[in-house]
Amino acid sequence: MTNIAGHFLKAARANPGKIALRWEGADLSYREILSMVQSLKRRIPRQRRVGLLAHKSPAAYAGVQAILAAGATYVPLNPMFPAERNRRMVRLAELDTLVVGEECSDAFAALLPLVEGPISVVTLGSVESIRKVAAGRSDVSLREADPTEALEDWEPEQPFDGIAYILFTSGSTGDPKGVQVTHANLESYLDSFLESYPIHPEDRLSQTFDLTFDPSVHDMFVAWKAQASLVCVPSRLMLSPLQFARDKGITVWFSVVSIPAMLAATKSGSMELPDVRLSMLCAEKFTWNTLQLWKKIVPNAKHANVYGPTEVTISSITYPIPDDFTEDQCHHGGIPIGRSYTRQFAEIRREDGSICGEGEEGVLWLAGDQVTPGYLDPVKTAERFVPKDGLVWYRTGDVCFWDAQKRIQFVGREDFQVKITGYRIELGEIEAALLQESGADFAVADVAQLRGDVDEIVCVLPTAVQHLKKKVREAVKKRLPPYMVPRVWLFQDELPLNANGKVDRKALKAAWKGMSFED
């Protein structure tokens, strides 16, 4: 089986002096990144899962390539997540080795006391802050990679179980679900994407995503397979990235829809990015209004709507928006998500599994060689991955329909799953945390658009626990990632119910429509 890390190695051998990574600290050549990859690879155990606690730094990107080159599977952790959530990911993935970036020393210090040893910690260079933390544990071994070591000729190892990486998504019971993605899944995706959207060696691709979000995989591997440059947008600039993107000359932009939507809401989208030739937005509803704003910022770009769950490897459906696209082709203001890539399949099915006709709403099912083996938990895998007609189909839970132009239009969800800044969230996980931390009789979490087209989490609790708001919020922050913590907290004793006696979420959303952001 081919190791996907071979693409970076090939690019580094062909263009050693070319810029591979542009970030806030410096520009780094393919040769410099390759030296980091080689040094890390020597210290990473083969044929096992390895955690990666690094964030938008050379250690992060070299760490991904080194783990894969060692024949191991990388499992990204997130320094912005509560330490307890990272601990659960370590436990579920059965990690005993962590690659830790210097920028994540505080997150490492918070995580390590929660993790049972023995555990190996690999750093890029000698990092005093990490050494001090590791020194407090006799069951922790520290391996410091030296990027100045002489380069040697080497090839990537045979992949461990064929799995390239494991990403965790929200779980309704509180435990994240680990999605396993193979080298073959990713190779197929790269072939399909580059066939639809060619990338050139002179391109400079944006990197806006955290490593725990699978579009980050796209950024790295598309850029380096095409022997282009990756431009890492600093996290602190994500809500105002235009000056940085202009200074770095980004030519291919890829982000969640909420970034340009936020620019519209905050009236901060006044600068043009004339170098951008291709713009792709994903992971949230892409509206006509957002498209109009974004066209003014990237006036020379072709635009694409990109769709795909993690379980089907980054994206499997896309819509290159034609120049003559008009608002009346949208569904409730939403741009079509489009059609599947070559070698991928999409069907919209009724509840009994039969196929829907044109204009008929049903659940979107996906198949093809980008469909992953499923979750770490085989029970959860059986719930979503369905053998049918000689293929394994992933049942997305997204309600869609085929329009008259044979494009897929997105309608909504059949369950209580939502997306915030592109991250997939089970509302049940938020509600479970609210109930446990407040001791309330009920808790409801949902989304509302309080700033233009931007979705934000709103929660409702009984008035009896209103005095505990600060305490509960702080406790929830320790359990959930920042994007899952409710932005607005409401307290009331009566909730609208539907005919089945369940909370009428549509009625709640209607009540929130006139709410100001300050509420």
pLDDT at 265: 60
Alpha-carbon gap, residue 290 to 277, rounded angstroms: 18
Alpha-carbon gap, residue 163 to 170, rounded angstroms: 20
Decide if pLDDT at 359 tops 80.
yes
Nearest residue to 56 via CA among 180, 202, 212, 169 = 212
* 326 contact partners, CB below 8 Å, separation of at least 6: none
119-124/317-321 β-pairing: unpaired
Contact 108, 53 (CB under 8 A): yes
Helix (H, G, I), strand (E, B) or coil at 359: coil
Nearest residue to 347 via CA among 333, 332, 330, 360 = 360
Quickly tell me which residue has 């990537």 as its tokens.
156
**Token pair recorded at residue 263:** 């620019």
Decide if pLDDT at 267 tops 60.
no
- Tens-digit pLDDT profile for residues 320-333: 999 999 999 999 88
Least confident window among 27-36, 93-102, 172-181, 287-296: 172-181
Alpha-carbon gap, residue 166 to 89, rounded angstroms: 10
Decide if pLDDT at 174 tops 80.
no
- Tens-digit pLDDT profile for residues 14-60: 999 999 999 887 899 999 999 999 999 999 998 899 999 999 999 99
Amino acid symbol at 508: L
| Complete domains list, the chain, with CATH | 1-14+25-161 (3.40.50.980), 308-413 (2.30.38.10), 417-512 (3.30.300.30)
Amino acid symbol at 497: L
Alpha-carbon gap, residue 323 to 299, rounded angstroms: 12
Least confident window among 313-317, 353-357, 423-427, 470-474: 423-427
Decide if pLDDT at 270 tops 80.
no
**Token pair recorded at residue 409:** 């239009």
Nearest residue to 130 via CA among 271, 506, 120, 197 = 120
Give the chain's mean pLDDT. 90
SS3 track for 107-122:
HHHHHHHHCCCCEEEE
Alpha-carbon gap, residue 56 to 235, rounded angstroms: 8
Q: What percentage of the chain reaches a pLDDT higher than 90? A: 65
H/E stretch holding 506 = helix 505-512
Provide mean pLDDT across the span 146-164. Answer: 89
Considering only residues 502 and 87, tell me which one the structure prediction assigns the higher pLDDT. 87
From the number of C-beta atoms within 10 Å of its C-beta (0-12, 13-18, 19+), residue 237 rates as: middle
